[in-house]
Amino acid sequence: MAFYYEEPCHTFNEYLLMPGYSSAECIPNHVSLKTPLTKFKKGEEPAISLNVPLTSAIMQSVSNDTLAVALAKEGGVSFIYGSQTIEQEAAMVARVKAYKAGFVTSDSNIKPDQTLADILKLKEETGHSTVAVTDDGTGTGKLLGVVSSRDYRVSRMAVDTPVSSFMTPIEKVISAPKGATLSECNDIIWENKLNSLPVVDDDGKLCYFVFRKDYSEHKENTSELLDAQKRYMVGAGINTRDYAERIPALLEAGADVLCIDSSEGYSEWQKRTIAWVRQQYGDRVKIGAGNVIDGDGFRFLAEAGADFVKIGIGGGSICITRETKGIGRGQATAVIEVAKARDAYYKETGIYVPICSDGGIVYDHHITLALAMGADFVMLGRYFSRFDESPTNKVNINGQYMKEYWGEGSNRARNWQRYDLGGAKKLSFEEGVDSYVPYAGSLKDNVNTTLSKVRSTMCNCGALTIAELQEKAKLTLVSSTSILEGGAHDVLLKDSNNQVK
């Protein structure tokens, strides 16, 4: 006879945190969001920790190298999507590892025989006012000059004016040689009162730009997630089919951590994949697994050797697994049960296996709830897809800027490996949708706002660390009426123009 749970499962939106005593030390600036990413033994430190409890989802519309760099700057880690060729994924990983903080590869480049009209078009496309003039119009061509907004006046110049006639020629451009350190480049910028400094090699070819504005930003990024060589850290998604070929290529490219990307992790396929990794690399290679939604699934993957375990089936905003297959569980209930299993496993074995809440995050405070319920970190898809750094197009829909966002189980992604249960190598039916999400601007600004809310709520609960939050948190279920009471009600709201909505 089938087993029936007596209690219904719940989502994050059905819970609230109760405030606790806040001492004078409980201020947001004192809060540490550092959290383990990989398993560790009692009394030891994890091989990898996150400086903030955020990871980006293993999705085509979310995690590319651009977003990976931006998130690592803030202290989290991205998992590059695996639903691409091995070569393409490895190349993305390599670009993250090769990225030099403060050294920017030029994406605004032009030939000297092009015109002011081309400069204006390029500025509109990239948003950058500094343009490199190279012999072939690429960011690695021979540098012939530089154009900045000080070099032209749109109101006084014809749009067909050639770039060569108003650019700052190379003879007057102050540059730095390839190999100069970031500190040396910044010294040149300050000594010469420059806004930008091109870095060129011995053949005069452009390598990078260093910008004055990035100096202060770099100093502000105190939470950067760096490896032992001071490179940004990055993860990579794998599947349970071509792992023997994909994993060596990703490790060669520099991937710091791997994660099996699957809609359902309680399977022999994941056990075999982890076993292969342990046989080939021992514990040197860190690999997460999932997704699961109960204690049995967690213990299975923990005993199989997973370095962390992801929680969640059907809770993502673009996921329709619950509709199409009728499997899943409310995310809050799943996190609570898996956290109990994690703690029991730690008590029995002395091995702490971090857990990640993946899906079901709608509002910023849901992140704090997930952490309070026992998650060590969260994985976000829709959240990151809204930002400039995500790989999707920004489009105008009915006067509002939106970003494209699609699920790995949609016909657009056709990531059949993620939903693979053996058998035919194809996506038999959709488990995800193709959609739009409101454009939200830069990752840095939004992440800072989100984490400010998390820190503030933790102080309300009297906690200065995530572990302390999990120990002190008091949570209560709320009624549907309480949920309505928690938002604005019984008033007429104004819009940005002070008009009644």
Return binding residues.
Answer: 261-263, 312-314, 316, 319
Instruction: Report CA torsion sign: 480, 485, 491, 495.
Output: negative
The neighbour count for residue 423, using CB atoms within 10 Å, is 7
Q: Please give the structure tokens belonging to residue 50.
A: 């996150």
Would you list the DSSP string of 56-82? E-S-TTT-SHHHHHHHHHHT-EEEE--
Rounded distance between C-alpha atoms, residue 2 and residue 277, angstroms:
36
Rounded distance between C-alpha atoms, residue 431 and residue 291, angstroms:
15
Q: Is 261 exposed, middle or buried (0-12, 13-18, 19+ CB in 10 A)?
A: buried
Q: Which of 299, 329, 418, 455 is catalytic?
A: 418
The neighbour count for residue 498, using CB atoms within 10 Å, is 6
Region of residue 43 (phi > 0: left; psi between -120 and 50: alpha; otherwise: beta): left
Rounded distance between C-alpha atoms, residue 386 and residue 284, angstroms:
35
The neighbour count for residue 195, using CB atoms within 10 Å, is 13
The neighbour count for residue 165, using CB atoms within 10 Å, is 11
Q: Annotated binding site for NAD(+), which residues?
A: 261-263, 312-314
Torsions phi, psi for 470 (to 5 deg): -65, -30
CB contact set of 258 (below 8 Å; sequence gap of 6+): 235, 236, 237, 238, 247, 250, 277, 285, 286, 287, 288
156 is catalytic: no
Torsions phi, psi for 21 (to 5 deg): -70, 130
Between helix 331-349 and helix 295-304 the angle, nearest 10°, is 50
299 is catalytic: no
* CB of 247 closer than 8 Å to CB of 238: yes
* CB of 403 closer than 8 Å to CB of 392: yes
Rounded distance between C-alpha atoms, residue 88 and residue 77, angstroms:
19
Residue 2: alpha-carbon gap to chain centroid: 40
Q: Which of 319, 356, 459, 461 is catalytic?
A: 319
- Beta strand extents in 25-129 (DSSP E only): 35-36, 40-41, 49-50, 54-56, 77-80, 109-110
User: Exposed e or buried b for every residue in 341-361, given b needs 16+ CB within 10 A?
Assistant: bbeebbeeeeebbbbbbbbbb
Q: List the catalytic residues.
A: 319, 418
